[in-house]
Chains A and B, each alone.
Chain A
Amino acid sequence: MTLHAATDGWVGRPLRRVEDPRFLGGRASYLDDLRLPDLLHVAMLRSPHAHARLAAVDVREAAAMDGVAAVLTGEDVAGAMEPLRPLIPIPNPPRTYPLAVGKVRYVGEPVVALAARDRATAEDALERVRVEYEPLPAVVDPERALDPGAPRLFEEMESNALWRDVLTYGDVEGAFARAAHVVRERFTIHRYVSTPLETFGVMAQVEPGTGLVTIWSNDQRPGLTSGVVAAALGIPQSRLRLIAPDIGGGFGNKRKAPYLIVAAMLARATGRPVKYVEDRRESLAALCHAANGVIDIALALDADGRFLAVHVRDVVDEGCNLQNPTLHSLLKLSNIIGCYGIEAVRFEAAAVLTTKCPSGANRGIGKPAMCFALERIVDVAARRLGRDPAALRAANLIPASALPYRTPVGAIYDSGDYPETLRRALALAGYEGLRRTQATARAEGRLIGIGIAAAIEPSTSNLSSYMLATRRPGTSGVGEAALVRVELDGSVRVATGNVASGQGYPTAIAQIVADELGVAPSAVSVSPWFDSHENPWMFSSGSFSNKFSGTDTGAILGAARAVRDKLVTVAAHLLEAAPGDVVVRDGVLGVRGAPGRQVTVAEVATVAYRDLLALPPGMAGGLEARHYYVSPLADVPDADRRVAVQLTFSNSVHVAAVEVDRATGAVRIAKYAIVHDCGREINPRIVEAMVHGSTAHGIGATLLEEFVYDAEGQLLTTTFMDYLKPTALDVPPFEVVSLESPSPRTPLGAKGVGEGGAIPSLAAIANAVEDALAPLGVRVTALPLSPARLWEAMTRAGEGRGA
């Protein structure tokens, strides 16, 4: 481990982002900025009920309105396509479609879509649609949804359960039997989401002659979306062109194939291009939420306070999610032991349907909740045992000497120094001093608390892990694709199957390729957008699970090295030298020990494309390579159901100091210190900003954000006035130190960083708040820690009733 390792080349330098000037000048191309001649605009009528039978849908008056070009109902859609293909198939999935058919199952579910000359006309026309709803009982509580007598979302299913299973690794019974202490707690996990500032959208066009369907969408998973959309439209994937322009934030939320299908169907019906962009209420109510649920956790400890086993009963409220259920369950397996050497694990999974917005991918998927439960229970244990929470953690962290470390679940922790990370974080925060301040403040009656969370940040999902839930093969491993091409003039073009949404890929990729080809990053132009007819891609292409460092780097290096090999081979031929003697630097290929014998990259490119007879005899022309990288770290579940759910592991420790206002319940974050280690940093400036941003997500989720449903399944938080996002006054300044323990298992030694802050921050702040309220005996078992919730808890504690 080194602190900011020195770098020879471009990788590792904190370069400014090459893509920034057009964003700063208002010249980016987001989805809603795109225009086509004759464009129609789409609006959707959405269910006001959580659960209701659709008795009648009458669109005649709307369809007859001036300016309305086409109207689609659920019946229309169902008549034109096979049911939606689930991405994670549960046994006997019910038939569902992009628009509601027969029933609605959550507030905000699309019922009718129509296209009109402008959005205002389209929305006016929705008022003329007459829908008769026959309300049915809502199912809001996930545990009640599991009751045999609970109202069922899908009558054709035996229950609302999508997946129930018990996974056991190691001797859990033995560990609990011999434990000196067992601590248990029940945590309620709330619903929140990252709310990218740009909402989801789509524009679709059908070429009448060729039948080619072109769809522009800010979809983060084009590799996966393409197949779903083509199947729904009944066209081969080769006739579907999917383009992703600049994406205004994603965080996993932006994938909604049903909207792409609806837009394409309206384009087909009208013969004109159509565009649909969610408004904020639609996005908050119906795009996706991080799943809520309940986690019952028990931790077994020996007499010395060593963690022996963890038992987690996890109920995940999927809402009405049939597209990619079980993600919030499965990913918890990747950080269920955190940074600790816990050798026995039991995971009781239940993923259940309720009449709420479908759950979906959201920065960290399930891992923030798992870290919250584990790091909270560690604090509960420390209090029970009378140990300092930092000391109890230190005693249980996996030592650096034990890495690479195979977890009982089957993951391999690749690099890092967890005890050193904790030591440095405590030093950065001034932990001892904070404890002294706390003691003084408590004596004055002030409520000051200090919270620590140590977290593993797993990244690069292994899609084989879905087999744990589906019990059948079909999708496995993970990879990414890249194209590197040296143009005739020596400039370099790179394209990948991934889509940037703020992560700085164009800059990081230019740094990587510059090092491989011996050119400056300014000579490398990275395609800012994804185009399925231009960029190389595969099923797992796109932005998810922090996979850039695990797979994209491999694809980029693979393609760049193939191009470099050809550059060297051709140059050696031209220079009459042995390829082994050719060196590349600053855009020039020279011969070792023979100064002056050299050709430029542009001269070699000229030979490769134009002066073809100067190529080595028999060699193909061109100076371009594609590489479809497959992570060698992925496996499939073994007979004991062990599998590496994710493939590389960053780590961090967050330390928060807070003060709770006794009169109002407001939480003020007085200090926030972060030490993290994501392996080799390709661009430290981008890395640190990712840490800031993801930590802010966790702070919002911990203190402010919550989707509130009432007992009838009505969503009460559909604007930014009641779904509160953190502002510049809510997010404290962060003190960040990074360690760099390169992974021996990834192509560049880099590991994931995008989710890092979002995973431990919930626990760090919650631990600090509980510590602050310890004199009152308040326990923190649910988030967000809003002033109202804390005030109520303090008031109850004051009345002697406990929280």
Chain B
Amino acid sequence: MSVTGGAAVAGRHAIAITVNDVPRRATVAARTSLLDCLREEWALTGTHAGCEHGVCGACTVLLDGRPARACLTLAVQADGARVTTIEGLAEGDRLHPVQEGFWECHGLQCGFCTPGMVLTAVHLLETNPAPTEIEIREALAGNLCMCTGYQNIVAAVAWAAARLRERSATP
């Protein structure tokens, strides 16, 4: 069932996006999604296409610090923005506490939803450092996971919240 964009696209657009603190440029068609731009132009394949209609959240990235569906965002809309993808979270081999939490609590199975889940959780903990279980579930309700039944994901986010609070309490 192909979704087609109508007539061939005439113009192409030069864009500049800072991805994971690295300035990047590309010339894309107007209809190119941010997801395709990240994956095809810059080979950042950690951002995944799950449904391409904005429901599953697998393609979630942080766009100027807020979670966004990369499949529903046009690359031209992100021109000039700062984007964080899953590849930008760890510092070298040192995982971000949310990534660590997913590992510790077995919050992933096939791993396909994980990048979107992790970035959504990172944003949650930036805005709410001590979420309750229901707040975690509400925050993650826009991200589908087909493997885990969510229980270990919720535990992973709670684990990460505790770790981050510990860190900020340590001078």
A721 near B53 with CB under 8 A, answer yes
A20 near B102 with CB under 8 A, answer yes
Query: Chain B residues near A680 (CB, 8 Å)?
Result: none
Known A25-B46, A729-B138: A246·B111 in contact at CB below 8 Å: yes
Which of B10-18, B75-83, B143-151 faces chain A? B143-151
A24 within 8 Å of B by Cβ?
yes
A446 within 8 Å of B by Cβ?
no
The listed residue with most A CB atoms (<10 A of its CB), out of B48, B86, B115, is B48
Query: Chain B residues near A279 (CB, 8 Å)?
Result: 1-3, 52
Known A197-B146, A693-B147: A25·B99 in contact at CB below 8 Å: yes
Query: Chain A residues near B150 (CB, 8 Å)?
Result: 692, 696, 727-728, 731
B110 near A24 with CB under 8 A, answer no
Partner of B110, one of A126, A127, A247, A282: A247
State A501–B90 Cα separation when bound (angstroms). 24
Known A16-B104, A27-B46: A197·B5 in contact at CB below 8 Å: no
A17 within 8 Å of B by Cβ?
yes
State A43–B110 Cα separation when bound (angstroms). 26
B127 within 8 Å of A by Cβ?
no
A689 near B148 with CB under 8 A, answer yes
Instruction: Please give the distance in Å from A113's CB to the nearest CB on chain B.
Output: 11
State A763–B138 Cα separation when bound (angstroms). 27
Query: Chain A residues near B118 (CB, 8 Å)?
Result: 24
Interface string of B53-78 (1 = CB under 8 A from A): 10110100000000000000000000
Partner of A30, one of B4, B48, B90, B104: B48
Partner of A195, one of B85, B143, B146, B152: B146
Instruction: Please give the distance in Å from B115's CB to the nearest CB on chain A.
Output: 5
Shortest Cβ distance from B133 into A: residue: A733
B110 near A123 with CB under 8 A, answer no
Instruction: Please give the distance in Å from B143's CB to the nearest CB on chain A.
Output: 8
B37 within 8 Å of A by Cβ?
no
State A727–B113 Cα separation when bound (angstroms). 12
Partner of A198, one of B31, B50, B53, B99: B50
Shortest Cβ distance from A692 into B: residue: B149
Partner of B106, one of A25, A66, A686, A757: A686
Interface string of B80-117 (1 = CB under 8 A from A): 00000111011000010001001110101111111100
Known A120-B29, A501-B110: A689·B87 in contact at CB below 8 Å: no
Query: Chain B residues near A127 (CB, 8 Å)?
Result: 2, 4
State A35–B40 Cα separation when bound (angstroms). 9
A734 near B1 with CB under 8 A, answer no
Interface string of A1-39 (1 = CB under 8 A from B): 000000000000000110011011111101011010000
A504 within 8 Å of B by Cβ?
yes
Partner of A26, one of B6, B56, B86, B104: B86
B1 near A718 with CB under 8 A, answer yes
Shortest Cβ distance from A281 into B: residue: B1
The residues in A between 468 and 512 inclusive whose CB is less than 8 angstroms from any CB of B are 501-504
Query: Chain B residues near A697 (CB, 8 Å)?
Result: 146
State A655–B90 Cα separation when bound (angstroms). 41
B22 within 8 Å of A by Cβ?
no
B141 within 8 Å of A by Cβ?
yes
A725 near B90 with CB under 8 A, answer no
A738 within 8 Å of B by Cβ?
no
State A60–B47 Cα separation when bound (angstroms). 37
Partner of B109, one of A32, A122, A123, A504: A504
Known A21-B103, A24-B108, A197-B58: A734·B151 in contact at CB below 8 Å: yes
Looking at chain B's contact residues, the main secondary structure is loop
A692 near B148 with CB under 8 A, answer yes
B132 within 8 Å of A by Cβ?
no
* Residues of B in contact, count (CB < 8 Å): 65
Query: Chain B residues near A734 (CB, 8 Å)?
Result: 149, 151
B169 within 8 Å of A by Cβ?
no
A308 within 8 Å of B by Cβ?
no
Instruction: Please give the distance in Å from A491's CB to the nearest CB on chain B.
Output: 20
B144 near A197 with CB under 8 A, answer yes
Query: Chain A residues near B147 (CB, 8 Å)?
Result: 197, 249, 502, 693
A23 near B111 with CB under 8 A, answer yes
Partner of B46, one of A26, A44, A249, A282: A26
Known A30-B112, A719-B51, A729-B137: A24·B95 in contact at CB below 8 Å: yes
B140 within 8 Å of A by Cβ?
yes
Query: Chain A residues near B153 (CB, 8 Å)?
Result: 728
State A86–B152 Cα separation when bound (angstroms). 40
B154 within 8 Å of A by Cβ?
yes
State A280–B154 Cα separation when bound (angstroms). 26
State A24–B39 Cα separation when bound (angstroms). 17
A26 near B47 with CB under 8 A, answer yes
A696 near B149 with CB under 8 A, answer yes
B86 near A25 with CB under 8 A, answer yes
B146 near A721 with CB under 8 A, answer no
The listed residue with most A CB atoms (<10 A of its CB), out of B39, B102, B113, B147, is B147
Query: Chain B residues near A504 (CB, 8 Å)?
Result: 109
Query: Chain A residues near B87 (CB, 8 Å)?
Result: 25-27
Query: Chain B residues near A640 (CB, 8 Å)?
Result: none
Query: Chain A residues near B110 (CB, 8 Å)?
Result: 196-198, 246-250, 501-502
A194 within 8 Å of B by Cβ?
yes
Query: Chain B residues near A26 (CB, 8 Å)?
Result: 44-47, 85-87, 115
A28 near B1 with CB under 8 A, answer no
The residues in A between 710 and 765 inclusive whose CB is less than 8 angstroms from any CB of B are 718-721, 725, 727-729, 731, 733-734, 757
Q: Which residues of B contact A (CB under 8 A)?
A: 1-8, 29, 31, 39-40, 43-53, 55-56, 58, 85-87, 89-90, 95, 99, 102-104, 106, 108-115, 118, 133, 136-138, 140-154
Identify the 9 closest CB pairs spanning chains A and B, nearest first.
Answer: A26-B46, A23-B111, A248-B112, A502-B110, A696-B149, A502-B109, A26-B86, A692-B149, A720-B55
11 extra A-B contacts, CB within 8 A, seeds A248-B112, A695-B149, A696-B150: A21-B95, A21-B103, A23-B108, A24-B111, A28-B46, A32-B45, A198-B112, A251-B146, A279-B1, A280-B51, A692-B149
Q: What are 24 of the A-B contact pairs (CB < 8 Å)? A: A24-B90, A24-B95, A24-B103, A24-B111, A26-B85, A30-B45, A30-B48, A33-B39, A46-B1, A127-B2, A196-B110, A197-B110, A197-B112, A197-B113, A197-B146, A249-B112, A279-B2, A280-B52, A280-B56, A281-B3, A689-B109, A689-B149, A693-B148, A734-B149
